Every structure is written in C-alpha cells, then in structure tokens.
Amino acid sequence: MNITAAFVLGFTLTTTAILQGAPDPNWLDHDRDRPLPPVVTPSTPGSQEQPGRPPSDAIVLFDGKDLSPWVAMDGSATKWVVKDGALECVPGSGYVRTLQSFGDCQLHVEWAAPNPPHGDSQGRGNSGVFFGFGRYEIQVLDSYQNKTYADGSAASIYGQYPALVNACLPPGQWQTYDIVWTSPRFDAEGLLLAKARLTIFHNGVLVQNNVELTGPVPWIGRPPYKAHPERLPIALQDHGNPVRYRNIWVRELGNNRHKEFMLPDALLETYVGDYGPPAQWNSVKIHRLPDGLLYLSLGGAELVLHAESPTKFYALTTDVLCTFDFSGPTKTIIIKVGDDEARRMDRTTQ
C-alpha cells in the first residue's frame, strides 16, 4: 500500500468511525469533567393551520415573511414570492438557494403540493430539496395517489433510493421533511474520502435510513462524485409547479466556527482593488482568479477568502480576518492577522 492509499484508508476509517458514533477515546466512561450538552429549547410541531416553531439554536431560513436568506442560483434576487406566510415557487423563475452555505446539518422543511392537483406522474407537485448547490436532490412530489417511478417519488433520493414507504398527505396539506445531511469529503487533490449520507423522516416516518449516495443526482444516470467544498448552499427546485414552503430551519453540525456565505459575483467584484500605500511589504491586494473566488495578497502570500457575512471574510489556513467598510467617503479594509492589532487601509485604486 502506498502512502497516499494508507492515508486515505486511515482517514476514511476514522471518518466512518466518527459517523457511526464510536465513543470518543479522550474521555473516560462517566467522566465528570466532560462538558455537558448545550441546552436547547426544542422545536414545537405545527398543524395544518399553523407552522411549528424552530428549536432555539436553529438558523431560520424561512419564517413566513423574510425572503432575505434566499437568492436565485446566480446570487441575484429570486422571483419566488411570499404569499400567505408561504414561500411559493413561480414556475419558470428557476431554483432558489440559500445565501449561506451548509455542510453537515439537520434541515426541517414544510411543503405543500398545489391543490387541486394538476398533471400526473412527475408533473404533479414536483419540486426538490437540494444539498451541495444543486447536486443532491431529495424529491418533493405529490405522491398521494399519483403513480410514478419509485426512485422519483416523494422523499426519494432522486434516481438512487426510493423512500422506504409512501407517507404522503393529500395535495394542499402541509407535510414535513426532517433531514440529516452529511456532506461528502474530499482530500486536497480532489480524491473522494467519504460519500454523502442522508437520513430522512417524512411526516415523522423514517423513509431514508442513513443511505450513502452514489454521487450527484442528475435527471438521468449516476455520475461519479466530483470534488467540491464541504459547505455549499441548500436549494429548492423550480420544476414548473407552484409548490409552497414554510417553516424552514437548519442546525449546523460539526465545524461551524465561522459561518460561510456564497455571495453574488457582483458584490465580490466591488471589493477588488489595492489597499494601503502601494509597494509596502504589508499593503494589500484583493483580486479574483478564473475560479471565481476572492483572494487576498498579503506579505507575498495568496489566501482564499471565505465570506462569513456580506462584509466579513476569513481564510481557512491562516488566522486572518478582513472586514470591508464602504459606509464612509473611503473604501476601507480592516485586516487582523493573528494577535496583531487590526489595521485600517483605504483603497488606492478605483
């Protein structure tokens, strides 16, 4: 076995052990120094008339009014509408995605298919909940007395796994998906280390039990995985039917030291330029490469910047924080490296 294979195998086994919940060897049985679980106020179930309430530590993605967590796939404003406390798909307007990116998480979604039903098979109440920025679909479909192929029915992993049972309610009624998503893992060279996993409850009934996805979920075929970031936006599908959504919330699991957002290109472009006196050792350049990411050039290093909010960015490999302040007469970047004092620098290019 070569070194790479040994590393990959070791990592895969470790990851699998963690996913399967092996006891953490750093703690004794009943160790009284072990931190207690954080206290969370639980969610409350909804009814047909009223949505439920999210748990206290959830990130609310749709509360019946606020559309700001959602954008079109290219980051522009979405054309989906908020009507009677629901987020409704406008056929032909395209998918919507979250501005924020998510890796491993618990996602709660409530949805309702149009009533009276229109069309049949895949044409009736079709939408979808996607992880990985459109790569992995959990089918949303009016599967109540509506025959279609099994791996395209409600709560299927599209084209891969039919639901264990059909727990669909009649069209027009509010239904719930409670989903546990585990992102696939790739190494720095793009080699697959661990496949994506999904567990799903449909209206409280287990329909997917920790299944391992074969790869992305296109209309036809099962292509292999291609490397992508662990955290990416969640999306909802426009499949030509005015499916409605309400009470959408998510709880991040695992690494969430920083939030991560996928910001529109137009916003990232506004940050590009030179900051501070030119040609000094600690002056700053913000630029973009053909990969579309935002880069910080500082002290001869090139660091990818990740958005923690629309104005705050961090690097993964170095403890650097950048905040853009364009609220005054100058365009200013505030840079903090490790323990150093934060430095403010004005932009010297337009």
121 or 282: CB nearest Mg ion = 121
Q: CB-wise, 126 or 160, nearer to Mg ion?
A: 126
**How far apart are alpha carbons 334 and 348 in whole angstroms?**
14
Place of tokens 């999210």: 54
Identity of the residue, 71 or 235, whose beta carbon is nearer to Mg ion in the bound complex: 235
Of the listed pieces 1-9, 16-24, 182-190, 233-241, which binds Mg ion according to CB under 5 A?
233-241
How many angstroms separate the CA atoms of 163 and 248, rounded? 21
Q: If you count them, how many residues does the chain have?
A: 350
Number of residues that bind Mg ion (CB under 5 A): 4
**Residue 255 CA: distances (Å) to CA of 23, 136, 174, 259, 276:** 19, 21, 32, 9, 33
Cβ nearer to Mg ion, comparing 150 with 266:
150
Rounded Cα distance between 187 and 196, Å, is 14
The stretch near Mg ion (CB under 5 A) out of 173-181, 235-243, 299-307, 342-350 is 235-243
Minimal distance in Å, beta carbon 122 to Mg ion? 8
DSSP state of 347: B
Torsion sign (Cα): 181, 186, 190, 191: negative
Report in angstroms how near the CB of residue 138 gets to Mg ion at its nearest.
9
**Residue with Cβ nearer Mg ion (138 or 284):** 138
Please choose, out of 1-9, 47-55, 127-135, 240-248, the segment that lies near Mg ion by the rule CB under 5 A.
127-135
Question: Which one, 128 or 171, has the nearer CB to Mg ion?
Answer: 128
Q: Which of 128, 216, 233, 276 touches Mg ion by CB under 5 A?
A: 128
Interface stretch with Mg ion, choices 7-15, 30-38, 59-67, 123-131 (CB under 5 A): 123-131
Please tell me the number of Cα atoms within 13 Å of 310 on its side-chain side.
10
Query: Closest residue (Cβ) to Mg ion?
Result: 128
CA 191 to chain centre: 21
Tell me the CA distances in angstroms from 174 to 46, 47, 56, 86, 120, one per residue in order. 9, 8, 22, 11, 19
Closest approach, Cβ 237 to Mg ion, in A, equals: 5
Token digits for 11?
């990592």
Of 126 and 182, the one with the shorter C-beta distance to Mg ion is: 126
Closest contact distance (angstroms) between CB of 180 and Mg ion is 20
Query: Which of these segments, 26-34, 108-116, 203-211, 237-245, binds Mg ion (CB under 5 A)?
Result: 237-245
The nearest distance, CB 91 to Mg ion, in angstroms, is: 13
Residue 181 pairs in a beta bridge with 105, 198
In the complex, least distance from residue 137 CB atom to Mg ion, rounded to whole angstroms: 6
Instruction: Provide the token pair at 165.
Output: 């049972």
Closest C-alpha to 60, from 251, 201, 232 = 251
Q: Say if CB 226 and CB 216 are below 8 A apart.
A: yes
- Which stretch, 100-108, 126-134, 206-214, 338-346, contacts Mg ion (CB under 5 A)? 126-134
CB of residue 149 to Mg ion, shortest distance in Å: 12
In the stretch 131-150, what mask flags binding to Mg ion with x, by CB under 5 A? Answer: --------------------
What does the buried/exposed string (b/e) look like for 157-191 if buried means 16 or more CB atoms within 10 Å of the residue's CB? bbbbbbbeebbbbebbebbbbbbbbbbbbbeeeee
Residue closer to Mg ion by CB (options 200, 303) is: 200
The SS3 call for residue 279 is coil
75: contact with Mg ion by CB under 5 A: no
**What is the spatial distance between Cα 313 and Cα 258, in angstroms, rounded to a whole number?**
9
Nearer to Mg ion, 235 or 335 (CB): 235
Binding site for Mg ion (CB under 5 A): 126, 128, 237, 239
